[in-house]
Amino acid sequence: MQKNKLLEIYDKLFERYSYQHWWPAVTKDEIVIGAILTQNTAWSNVEKAVENLKNSGICSLEAVFYTDIDSIKENIKPAGFFNQKSVYLKNISEFFVKNGSFNKLSRLDTNRLRSELLKIKGIGKETADSILLYAFGRAVFVVDAYTKRLILRHNLLKSNDYDTIQDFFEDNLPKDVELFNEYHALIVKNAKEFCRTKPKCSGCPLEGV
DNA sequence: CACCAGGAATGTA
DNA sequence: TACATTCATGGT
């Protein structure tokens, strides 16, 4: 029994699933592009879209910026919402190209970088934080629908507000990039297995936590 | 056939 | 602030 519920939950998830290694050995550009494409979309469909971009030689933010939007649409079609996601990709690629890409943007502190990302149309809190964590390596906790449901079901908070839940994680965990990286991935992994349409809790590593 | 996935923008009250 | 609607493909 630990006094820190969040660490207890993490330990049980990690014990069951081990490392998820999200976005390993891929370019940062691909992570940013994937973060947009995965908005409310199954990851298997994102992989098809990314593969199309690679085959077309335009799986980079600079390439996206200089490629006509109709070609972008055609390539990312499998990921769904291609009409708006193509615009979103254009928006963020413009941001990176016009601001010196990772080289210069990495000099900004995390809060400043986050607020700049949130100004881009198509980048909400979860996408911004995913980019900060997985592409920039900043210790920012990503809150998604699964995370909210986990917090509410275990009665750890009353509010389901994004910032409230994010603060809860960041204030009760060591600010460790690898920990935040794995934790978010483990929550998704566990939710997919046990919390689909009908919550089947039998066998869940968080049973009784 | 229905449901929804590693959300965000927009509109309504 | 708190919900509701729209966007689109592909797997179960």
What pTM value is reported for the model? Answer: 0.96
Nucleotides in chain B near protein beta carbons (<7 Å): 3-10
Instruction: Verify if strand C has an atom below 7 Å from the CB of A157.
Output: no
Query: For residue A69, which phi and psi values (nearest 5 degrees)?
Result: -65, -30
Can you give the distance from the CA of residue A25 to the C1' of nucleotide C4 in angstroms? 40
pLDDT band at residue A24, thresholds of 50, 70 and 90?
A: confident
Sorted by where each starts, the structural domains of chain A and their CATH numbers stand as: 2-21+143-193 (no CATH), 28-135 (1.10.340.30)
pLDDT at A61: 98
pLDDT at A108: 98
Closest nucleotide to A41: CA versus each C1': B5
CA of A1 to C1' of B13 (A): 46
